[in-house]
Amino acid sequence: MRAHGPLKTSRMSETAYEAIEGAIVRCELPPGTPLVDRQLSEALGVSRTPIRDAMQSLEAVGLAMRVRGRYAVAGFDVEDVRELYQVRRLLEPAGLEELARTWDEETVDELAGFFDEAQRPGPPGPYEDYLARDHAFHKRIVSLTGNSRVKRFYAVNEKQINRIRHYLAPGYEGRMTEVVSEHKEVCEAIGRRDLTAARAALIGHLEAGEATMITFLAQQQEPNEG
């Protein structure tokens, strides 16, 4: 029985995936929320098939999980934060080391001046803008590895970190100005052609970020791991 025109605009699986992923990352669907295909099917106006495709993908990137057969939004805890930041400390310095190896002057200059443009003095802009700029910087560093597998792995990692950022906000913006100065420290070291210092500054920055996130998460009376 055909209900109505199903509007085969594009891949409904991808549309559904992005809708659900966005809702999970923004914590509109909090950790532990059951993901019931029939409900989501009705809510998004598509059939169960693309929804189940999307849920499979969400499970693959660790945003959803199956607990005794039932799908639910994945939980996270302090140990996840440790893992996520360990991955960053592993991948991002690798980008800098590749830069040290190849030493492309143009790229060095690009990174050294990454925050020059659109960097107004005084209070930084809205949180979302700041997050986007932050992410662009770190993503650019990882891209220096030129390794597509590393980049994909990093992207999944970042998605999970971003979700915890959303979970912790508001209150988490407090570190914004601190992070900006840490970024500048990395960029200045790159500008001085001192990649050893840049690497150290980057790792310090990541360690500070991990510590902050763990502190906030522990305060929040950490929820259970999914």
Partner DNA sequence: ATTTGGCATTTGGTATTCCATATCCCCTTG
Partner DNA sequence: CAAGGGGATATGGAATACCAAATGCCAAAT
Which of these segments, 9-17, 126-134, 178-186, 198-206, binds DNA (CB under 7 A)?
Answer: 9-17
How many whole angstroms separate alpha carbon 18 and alpha carbon 7?
18
Which of a second copy, DNA, none lies near 193, with the C-beta cut-off 5 to 8 A by kind?
none
- What six digits make up the tokens of 98? 């590749």
**Helix locations, the chain, DSSP H:** 12-25, 37-44, 48-60, 78-102, 105-112, 127-143, 148-168, 176-191, 195-219
- What six digits make up the tokens of 83? 């893992």
Asked if 148 interacts with a second copy (CB under 8 A), we say: yes
Of 99 and 187, the one with the shorter C-beta distance to a second copy is: 99
Closest approach, Cβ 98 to DNA, in A, equals 35
Asked if 84 interacts with a second copy (CB under 8 A), we say: yes
Of 60 and 211, the one with the shorter C-beta distance to a second copy is: 60
Whether omega before 126 lies within 30 degrees of 0, making that bond cis, reads no
Asked if 37 interacts with DNA (CB under 7 A), we say: yes
How many whole angstroms separate alpha carbon 34 and alpha carbon 10?
27
Taking the CA of residue 121 as centre, how many other CA atoms within 13 Å lie in the half-sphere pointing to its CB?
0
Distances (CA, A) of 14 to 34, 50, 54, 172: 20, 8, 7, 31
Distances (CA, A) of 123 to 135, 169, 179, 221: 19, 18, 13, 30
Asked if 82 interacts with DNA (CB under 7 A), we say: no
Which of DNA, a second copy, none lies near 91, with the C-beta cut-off 5 to 8 A by kind?
a second copy
Binding mask 60-79 for a second copy (x = CB under 8 A): x-x-----------------
| Residue ranges binding DNA (CB under 7 A) | 1-3, 6, 8, 10-13, 34-39, 46-50, 52-53, 66, 68-71
| Residue ranges binding a second copy (CB under 8 A) | 49, 53, 56-57, 60, 62, 83-84, 86-87, 90-91, 94, 145, 147-150, 153, 157
